């Protein structure tokens, strides 16, 4: 987008292109709203954009190079995406439905009683379909550590649940944290942002 496009303004401006911003952008664009999506970082969504030295990718894709401090006991570094697609570009693609106990907590403490599991069921189902969420596939020769952990946990009687991810064609390149170099991860830059643009939204 150039400055001329920005000067045109928009009915709605969405700031940030991560999971929340991209979803709002797509939803508004599909509804015919004149919507503009703003992102501080660059567009690296082509798989070629995720090749290079890890130090260079981290500096380009993460806010403050991935070292945003969160003060507490103990303090820790917080990784936040600064690229088109936000943190969905640099995470592992894990996708879990909000647990009912969390919704109950939001209802009791936050006055969000309308966000019931029944209301959100079709929303979660739509997201899972759109982003191709599913259990992580096991590949021979790649997941021995997971096999050992699963065997050990089950031998102790622990419940084992397969991770739900939005990486249906994962090739196990192990580069999730620096952008999916194969394009398998269904990040916002690969899914909802292009859909919003096709519907008339601007980035």
Asked if residue 136 belongs to a domain, the reply is: no
Tell me the average pLDDT across 28-54: 88
125 inside domain: no
Residue 47, in any domain of the structure: yes
Q: Which helix (H) or strand (E) holds 7?
A: helix 3-7
Averaged pLDDT for residues 194-198: 98
Domain membership of residue 16 (yes or no) is: yes
pTM over 0.75: yes
Range of the domain at 13: 3-93+173-198
| pLDDT at residue 8 tops 60 | yes
The mean predicted confidence, pLDDT, of the chain is 89
Q: Where are the beta strands (DSSP E) in 35-128?
A: 35-38, 68-70, 76-78
Could you report the per-residue pLDDT of 129-166, keeping only the tens digit for each?
Answer: 999 999 987 777 777 888 899 899 999 999 998 889 99
148 part of a folded domain: no
Does some domain include residue 61? yes
Which tokens is 67 given? 């070292």
Q: Are 10 and 202 in contact (CB under 8 A)?
A: yes
Domain-embedded: residue 20: yes
Task: Give the chain's domain count.
Answer: 1
- What is the reported pLDDT for 4? 58
CB 68 within 8 A of CB 77: yes
């Amino acid at each position: 987008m150039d400055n001329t496009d920005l000067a045109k303004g928009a009915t709605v401006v969405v700031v940030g292109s991560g999971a929340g911003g991209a979803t709002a952008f797509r939803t508004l664009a599909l509804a015919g709203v004149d919507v503009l999506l703003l992102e501080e970082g660059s567009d690296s969504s082509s798989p070629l954009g995720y090749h290079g030295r890890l130090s260079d990718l981290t500096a380009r894709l993460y806010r403050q190079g991935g070292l945003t401090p969160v003060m507490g006991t103990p303090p820790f570094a917080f990784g936040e995406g600064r690229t088109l697609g936000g943190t969905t570009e640099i995470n592992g693609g894990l996708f879990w439905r909000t647990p009912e106990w969390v919704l109950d907590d939001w209802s009791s403490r936050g006055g969000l009683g309308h966000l019931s599991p029944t209301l959100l069921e079709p929303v979660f189902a739509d997201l899972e379909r759109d982003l191709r969420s599913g259990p992580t596939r096991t590949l021979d020769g790649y997941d021995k550590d997971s096999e050992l952990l699963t065997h050990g946990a089950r031998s102790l009687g622990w419940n084992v649940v397969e991770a739900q991810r939005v990486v249906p064609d994962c090739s196990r390149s192990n580069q999730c944290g620096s952008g999916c170099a194969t394009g398998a991860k269904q990040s916002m830059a690969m899914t909802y942002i292009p859909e919003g643009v096709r519907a008339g939204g601007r980035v």
